Amino acid sequence: MTHTSVAAYAAPAPKAPLERTTIPRRELGAHDILIDIKFAGICHSDIHTARAEWGEGGHFPLVPGHEIAGVVAATGSAVSRYAVGDRVGVGCFVDSCRECDNCRAGIEQYCTGELGNVGTYNAVGRDGEPTQGGYSTHLVVDENYALRIPESIPLDAAAPLLCAGITVYSPLAHWQAGPGKKVAVVGLGGLGHMGVKIAHAMGAEVTVLSQSLRKKDDGLRFGADAYHATSDPATFEALAGTFDLIINTVSADLDLNAYLSLLRTDGTLVQLGAPEKPLTVAPFALIGGRRSFAGSLIGGIRETQEMLDFCGEHSIAADIELISADRINEAYERVLASDVRYRFVIDTSTI
């Protein structure tokens, strides 16, 4: 197979700073589109992966980036869904088996095929080549794993919807956030700020649970009805037994049992954050109120398109800080310090 060489930012080894390099992209297959990447969001998962926090191994040099927004630059001979010039996005996976029950049901993120869902980076595709992500100028992807970005959303602020947006939309939809439901969002970072905007647009009553009140004005502007500091023990007393649904977006260890106590009977705490160490759940924190502790992984292609269209209709996009590629390492440090308002997005023309 022949390849084209394109510019990218890669982590040469686990924990090493990212640096400019070139990577190969495959030639267009019949069902492929070539995307001229315009913007790539920085997700906390990029950092977990580039630092090998989710286990040893990994395909280094590693180009992170799974919040990709761009424009179709070329199409393969059999492409029917997209044309040159279309505004498109790519999220966390670029392929799946297409045959298992989950793929057929449109929840390809839970593909049970041999390769599972093929991650946009740090995975191996069906061609046997490692995948490389969106901190890059171009990407070749099967048209069935691309999404259409509504005209009403600016491309830079749309990029974070491809991971942060769908990761919160999917559990909010699944657990039926809406009028009459009380939803709490733990952590006001990339995922969290999208969770507030989307849950509010779905009609739920939304509370932010953040480490401090530093970002309270922003949280209320995003649509929260209430905002509490989790550093204040009074928060847990005042809100005991309150919520139907809590989505936990925190990237670090939390005392889950304290948060479970905030659920009403039959309430559900959905774990979205993926810290490196196991979490501890006390049985009685669940048994007492028939509570559930659940997890959720991004969303399928169909639901991701539904989320993008929902955001287009409700004029929802991410609040972003646009950076040049030479500031990626600095941005990583700021994300780790919870100093992000509320998603860093790389202008890929600077790579």
Catalog residues that contact ligand NAP under the rule CB under 6 A: 43-45, 48, 163-164, 167, 187-192, 210-211, 249-252, 254, 272-274, 296-298, 335, 338, 340
Q: In the complex with ligand NAP, which residue's Cβ is closer, 87 or 343?
A: 343
Nearer to Zn ion, 166 or 209 (CB): 166
96 contact choice in ligand NAP, Zn ion, none (CB below 5 to 8 Å, kind-dependent): Zn ion
Task: Phi first, then psi: give them for residue 121, nearest 5 degrees.
Answer: -145, 165
Provide the terminal-to-terminal Cα distance of the chain, rounded to the nearest Å. Answer: 26
Query: 227 forms bridges with which residues in the sheet?
Result: 208
DSSP for 280-292? ---HHHHHTTT-E
Residue 211 CB, shortest distance to ligand NAP, in Å, is 4
Q: Which residues within the stretch 73-92 sit at the binding site for Zn ion (CB under 5 A)? A: none
Q: How buried is 229 (Cβ within 10 angstroms: 0-12 exposed, 13-18 middle, 19+ buried)?
A: middle
# chain residues binding Zn ion, by CB under 5 A: 9
Rounded CA separation 186/170 (Å): 16
| Contacted by 334, from ligand NAP, Zn ion, none: CB < 5 to 8 Å by type | none
Q: Let me know if 237 is exposed, middle or buried by CB neighbors in 10 A (0-12, 13-18, 19+).
A: exposed
Nearest residue to 227 via CA among 216, 242, 238, 214: 216
Minimum distance of ligand NAP from residue 111's CB (angstroms): 14
Cis peptide upstream of residue 169 (ω within 30 degrees of 0): no
Q: Quick check: helix, strand or coil at residue 7?
A: strand
31-50 residues in contact with Zn ion (CB under 5 A) are 43, 45
Of the ranges 100-108, 131-139, 174-182, 225-233, which one interacts with Zn ion (CB under 5 A)?
100-108
210 binds, among Zn ion, ligand NAP, none (CB under 5 to 8 A by kind): ligand NAP
The answer to whether the CB of 323 falls within 8 A of the CB of 117 is: no
CA 243, 249, 252, 253 dihedral sign is: positive
Residue 108 CB, nearest distance to Zn ion (Å)? 6
Question: For residues 159 and 250, which CB has a smaller minimum distance to ligand NAP in the complex?
Answer: 250
The residue of the chain with the least Cβ separation from ligand NAP equals: 189
How many CB atoms lie under 10 A from the CB of residue 256? 18
Nearer to Zn ion, 34 or 298 (CB): 298
| Number of other residues whose CB lies within 10 A of the CB of residue 115 | 14
Per partner kind, with CB cut-offs from 5 to 8 A, the member of Zn ion, ligand NAP, none near residue 97 is: Zn ion
Work out which of 100, 226, 229, 323 binds Zn ion, going by CB under 5 A. Answer: 100
CB of 185 to ligand NAP, least distance (A): 9
Residue entry with tokens 């790579």? 351
From Zn ion, ligand NAP, none, interface partner of 113 (C-beta below 5 to 8 A by class): Zn ion
List the single partner that 269 binds among ligand NAP, Zn ion, none, CB under 5 to 8 Å by kind.
none
Amino acid at residue number 32: D
Which residues from 175-234 bind Zn ion, rule CB under 5 A? none
Report what 103 binds from Zn ion, ligand NAP, none; CB cut-off 5-8 Å by kind: Zn ion
Using the minimum distance from each CB to ligand NAP, give the nearer residue, 33 or 340: 340
113 in contact with Zn ion (CB under 5 A):
yes
Q: Which of 65, 52, 76, 7 is nearest to 328 (CA)?
A: 65
The residues of the shown chain that bind Zn ion, judged by CB under 5 A, are 43, 45, 96-97, 100, 103, 111, 113, 163
